[in-house]
């Protein structure tokens, strides 16, 4: 690969002049500029990022670390959102996946530090509280999580708002008797959405039957297994079965569809189903297509980068900032046939 010196020599100018045309600095005489440019094109020259970084002491790189990718590819939307925004600033991204392994986390943090990342984004798979905050010697933005001893930037989905929107939609369609198959109860998302649901219900003088609130998973949080099918089967066998089920995520909703099939119930005719997450792989593929609430992961990625790269413009507060979750109306909810 050729160097700036080569360009300068070939073009018969000084190194600095070559540098100037590359960086579009200062006024350069047009003929000089085009002569230098011609050499650059001919030699296929690209400035060395490493050398540039050494001189300017800015890496132009931000690190992205996730805890688990697991079954839910939640991080790809965040990555895309981040990339969109980074591209606009001419920056690049290093990614790391710790798989919840402390050893790997340390290694990757070292790697980030060696690359002198200008910022770091840490995302957890579930909206949760962190015990320790990863430290890469650069500004940090937390995605989908927060920490008590951490007064920096933190972006979380507005689970309360999303849960409220879902509940209101079902109520507006005429449902009065709702079932819930939730995520693990220890997750803030679960509690926030339940609280929102109870609020929406209370506004109409209704309440939630405790029997109709189930968890869609079994086992410890780190190794939980889907059990929504069984929960749904049980719920649908009851004489007072709900006319609609609110699900903790789209996978649960998928299992509810399967349970409905098994019970000979049509969606949405006999049973309305509401998902959460808007995993297109499921929500757009199911027939009838799934009405769900979209998690704003791409938007969170964009906001995180903006906060990192241009902090003045994004004055992050010390409390987690809630990013809106949008209701995606498709075909899995209809007015109830029995009141």
Partner DNA sequence: CTGTTAGCGCGTTCAG
Partner DNA sequence: CTGAACGCGCTAACAG
User: Phi-psi region for residue 171, left (φ > 0), alpha (ψ -120 to 50) or beta?
Assistant: alpha
> What is the dihedral sign for C-alpha 237, 292, 167, 198?
positive
CB of 118 to DNA, least distance (A): 15
Segment near a second copy (CB under 8 A); pick from 50-58, 186-194, 317-325, 327-335: 50-58
User: Which own/partner pairs from 224-233 qualify as long-range (CB within 8 Å, at least 24 positions apart)?
Assistant: 224/184, 226/251, 226/252, 226/255, 228/181, 228/252, 228/255, 228/256, 228/259, 229/255, 229/256, 229/258, 229/259, 231/181, 232/181, 232/256, 232/258, 232/259, 232/260, 233/259, 233/262, 233/263
Positions in 29-88 near DNA (CB under 7 A) = 29, 32-33, 45, 47-48, 51-52, 54-57
For residue 128, state whether it binds DNA (rule: CB under 7 A). no
214 binds a second copy per the rule CB under 8 A: no
> Among the candidate windows 1-9, 81-89, 223-231, 256-264, which touches DNA by CB under 7 A?
1-9
- Token pair of 262, please? 């098994």
Nearer to DNA (CB atom), residue 37 or residue 227: 37
Q: Decide if residue 113 touches a second copy (CB under 8 A).
A: yes
**Residues in CB range of 49: below 8 A, 6 or more apart:** 60
Interface of this chain with a second copy, residues 307 to 336, rule: CB under 8 A: none
Element (H, E) at 292: strand 292-294
Site for a second copy in 88-107 (CB under 8 A): 92-97, 104, 107
Backbone angles phi, psi at 261, to 5 degrees: -55, -45
Residue 327 beta carbon to a second copy: minimum distance, rounded to whole angstroms: 20
Taking the complex as a whole, the smallest distance from the CB of residue 220 to a second copy amounts, in Å, to 18
259 interface partner picked from a second copy, DNA, none, CB below 5 to 8 A per type? a second copy
- Is the Cβ–Cβ distance between 176 and 339 less than 8 Å? yes
Spatial separation of the C-alpha atoms in residues 82 and 71, rounded to whole Å: 21
Q: To 10 degrees, what angle do helices 4-11 and 30-43 make?
A: 130
**Which residues 127-146 are close enough to bind a second copy by CB under 8 A?**
137
Question: Quick one: what does residue 14 bind among a second copy, DNA, none, with the CB cut-off 5 to 8 Å set by partner type?
Answer: DNA
Give 99 or 240: the residue with its C-beta nearer to a second copy.
99
| Of 86-94, 143-151, 168-176, 295-303: span binding a second copy (CB under 8 A) | 86-94
Q: Is residue 115 within 8 Å of 61, Cβ to Cβ? A: yes
229 binds, among DNA, a second copy, none (CB under 5 to 8 A by kind): a second copy
Residues that bind a second copy (CB under 8 A): 1, 44, 46-51, 53-54, 59, 69, 71-73, 75-76, 79-80, 83, 87, 92-97, 104, 107, 110-111, 113-116, 137, 226, 229, 251, 254-255, 257-262, 264, 279-282, 284-288
């Amino acid at each position: 690969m050729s160097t700036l010196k080569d360009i300068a020599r070939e073009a018969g100018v000084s190194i600095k002049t070559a540098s100037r045309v590359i960086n579009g600095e200062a006024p350069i005489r047009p003929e000089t500029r085009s002569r230098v440019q011609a050499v650059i094109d001919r030699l296929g020259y690209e400035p060395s990022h490493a050398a540039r970084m050494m001189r300017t002491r800015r890496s132009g790189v931000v690190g992205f670390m996730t805890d688990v990718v697991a079954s839910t590819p939640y991080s790809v939307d965040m990555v895309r959102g981040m990339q969109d925004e980074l591209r606009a600033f001419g920056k690049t991204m290093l990614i790391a996946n710790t798989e919840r392994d402390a050893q790997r986390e340390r290694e990757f943090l070292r790697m980030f530090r060696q690359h002198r990342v200008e910022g770091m984004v840490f995302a957890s798979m579930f909206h949760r509280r962190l015990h320790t905050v990863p430290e890469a010697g650069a500004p940090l933005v937390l995605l989908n999580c927060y920490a008590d001893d951490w007064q920096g930037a933190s972006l979380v989905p507005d689970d309360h708002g999303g849960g409220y929107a879902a509940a209101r939609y079902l109520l507006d369609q005429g449902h009065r008797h709702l079932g819930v198959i939730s995520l693990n109860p220890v997750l803030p998302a679960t509690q926030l959405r339940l609280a929102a649901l109870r609020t929406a219900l209370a506004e109409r003088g209704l309440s939630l039957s405790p029997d109709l609130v189930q968890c869609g998973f079994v086992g410890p949080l780190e190794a939980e297994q889907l059990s929504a099918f069984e929960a749904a089967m049980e719920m649908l066998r009851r004489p007072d079965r709900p006319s609609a089920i609110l699900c903790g995520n789209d996978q649960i909703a998928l299992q509810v569809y399967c349970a409905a099939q098994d019970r000979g119930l049509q969606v949405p005719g006999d049973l309305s189903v509401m998902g959460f997450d808007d995993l297109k792989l499921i929500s757009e593929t199911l027939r009838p297509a799934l009405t769900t609430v979209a998690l704003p992961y791409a938007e969170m990625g964009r906001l995180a980068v903006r906060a990192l790269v241009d902090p003045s413009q994004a004055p992050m507060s010390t409390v987690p900032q809630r990013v809106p979750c949008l209701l995606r109306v498709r075909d899995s909810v209809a007015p109830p046939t029995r009141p």
